Chains A and B, each alone.
Chain A
Amino acid sequence: MLGDPIELESVTYAYGDGALRREVLRDVALRVAPGEIVILTGPSGSGKTTLLTLVGALRAAQAGSLRVLGQELAGAGEGVRVSLRQRIGFIFQSHNLLGFLTARQNVAMALELDGAIEERARLARAGEMMAAVGLAEHTEKLPGQLSGGQRQRVAVARALVHAPSLVLADEPTAALDRASGGEVVRLLRDLARSRGTAILLVTHDPRILDVADRIVMMEDGRVVSGSAASVLPAGAPAGLAAPGGAPRG
């Protein structure tokens, strides 16, 4: 066993320089086990998104140790970060699908980075993934022809099609109504579960906290509860949903 998908140790991060320097992460430690679904929540401005971009190698680390999928990100260059991103699934607040590609082609984009897969296999896998998110009938539609919930499900398919060991999601339900938001997150959870994919999901939405194996609270750049060691049973964390928990969407 190579260790957990996410192993963060005393991660500190600051925006700006000199007088403008503002520390937004302070000595953060976080560990996510294989297949574990962790929700990261906390008040606005507490540093959740910043933490997620660091874990996702979308931003260069500054201090502390960040091992993601076995790759140390402290001091890692652009090339290392780019290739690490290929092994992670991302789900954004808005779907961010490419408008000029069909839903299936969008999903296949996550596979075009793998030279071992042929075009036919790529489209077949993308099609299977589309079916898995319940969009078998919509593979050839452009994102503009789909509803918001369907688009976000396409985004889920894109995040999972290359079978990543880790999925990062930042408020994936923010742009959706209650019903489709819940549907998308549960779909994500079920698919991840069945494939042993770990998920780190940032949300303010109290209605979706029940999908988590564990909830981590952040406040002012620090993890204040649900520390890396404590594991809460799924469905039990209602009490942790309070601060800053107003739904955004």
Chain B
Amino acid sequence: MNALTELRVLPPPGTREAPKPPGLAASTRLAVRLAWRQLRSEKARLASAIAGVMFACMLVFMQLGFRSALFESATTLIGAMRADLFLMSPMTLASFRPEPIPRARVSQALAVEGVAAAAPVYLAQSSFRNPATGTRRTIQLIGFDVEAGVLDLPGLASVREALKQPDSFAFDARSRPEFGPVTAMLAERGAFPVQIGNRDLRVVGTVELGSSFGADGNAVVSEVNFRRVVSARKASLVDLGAIRLRPGADLLATQAALRAILPPDVGVLTQAELRAHERRYWEEATPIGFIFSFGSLMGLIVGMVIVYQVLFSDIAGHLKEYATLKALGYSSGYLGRVVLGAAGILAVLGFVPGTVISSILYGVVADATFLPLNMTVERAAWVLVMIFGMCAAAGLLASRKLRDANPADMF
């Protein structure tokens, strides 16, 4: 009781008014601090919650990564073409399986003012015999007018002349490895024959394009050589027309002019429209886009359940404490903010390592699949928003349990 002497320093008994509550920012800060103190007091539970959020985060990153890699790789060939406008059959769903158009349409395009060059592009799936093992795999054959310069791939300039030789082709060095160590063999012994379709073609160099969901690998050939390999194809049919405009020509006006003179058996698309068309195919006409969205959603749901479990059992295990806080005059809203604060802390603590691990995984998977997987700030921001949403939903669900904390039961 000797402590009584110290009482003089304490303020006099309370004012009759209720204390002025802290501002929203201050009280939220206090609520989050309380949440953190509670979370860190149970290390195992905290670790499992962070692991859950991290897992959800990685799942979403991988799904979104694959999804965008798919869409990106589906349009790399189009992106590599130095063309402003494309002629394509309106029946074509995706460029890896094109419906042919009459070759004459490409020449007709030259009649329109503003068109500088128009060249045909040929696309076909053919089989490629692995020069090391002898097994066959489907490869995408890209035929183009070597002189017209519509195709612009890294490495193409140095093999352009060689491609004019009969039965020669350039191999896409970023094809999947199942096609064999073509690049290494080429460096070792120079040009050597490989069977494509039913012909032996000599590989004369490499270009870089990359595999996609539509094509595991690519072989680039001249127009003439394409016809030799795909002999069944009528000479009057091509797959795409690539059109380059004169400098200063108006893109949309030229597009409209082309539409006006060409019969309806060809569509005229800008590069952006063709890319969008390709994307739409993978997004809508195949289940692939849906599968990845679904995968992301599953990741978020699993993460939400884990976070909910942790927050719920935290509340259920501390009902007495929460009821005590209510008796001390803390409102239900404040306690709700404590729970949401815990959810927010878990979101951040799971997101940071989840993002780091995902970036590493992107590298590993990109090396293994040759898909263009990489971490972007935009995607990270999206995932952060989703993870926050997931944790907030879990927090809101769990905070319903706060109603069971009844201060009247405390006495």
Contacts and interface: CB of A to CB of B under 8 A. Distances in A.
Contact of A132 (B4, B21, B327): B4
A59 B327 CA distance: 10
A128 B10 contact: yes
Contacts of B14: 87, 162-165
Contacts of A70: 16
A131 B2 CA distance: 9
A46 interface: no
B3 A90 contact: no
Contacts of B3: 131-134, 136
A87 B18 contact: yes
Contact of B327 (A58, A99, A100): A58
A152 to B, nearest CB: 14
A140 to B, nearest CB: 14
A79 B18 CA distance: 12
A183 B365 CA distance: 69
B30 interface: yes
B12 A186 contact: no
A230 interface: no
A246 interface: no
Contacts of A202: 411
Size band of the B side of the interface? 35 or more
A101 B22 contact: no
Interface stretch (B136-144, B275-283, B318-326): B318-326
A65 interface: no
Interface string A171-211: 00000000000000011001100111100001000000000
Contacts of A78: 332
A96 B37 contact: no
Nearest to A168: B411
A197 B2 CA distance: 19
Nearest to A116: B20
A238 interface: no
B26 A85 contact: no
Contacts of A86: 18-19, 328-329
Interface of B: 1-4, 6-7, 9-14, 16, 18-23, 26-27, 30, 37-38, 40-42, 318, 320-321, 324-332, 407-408, 410-411
Given A49-B411, A53-B408, 20 more contacts: A58-B411, A59-B408, A82-B331, A84-B18, A85-B407, A92-B410, A98-B38, A98-B318, A98-B321, A100-B37, A100-B40, A113-B22, A113-B329, A125-B10, A132-B4, A132-B10, A163-B10, A163-B12, A190-B1, A196-B12
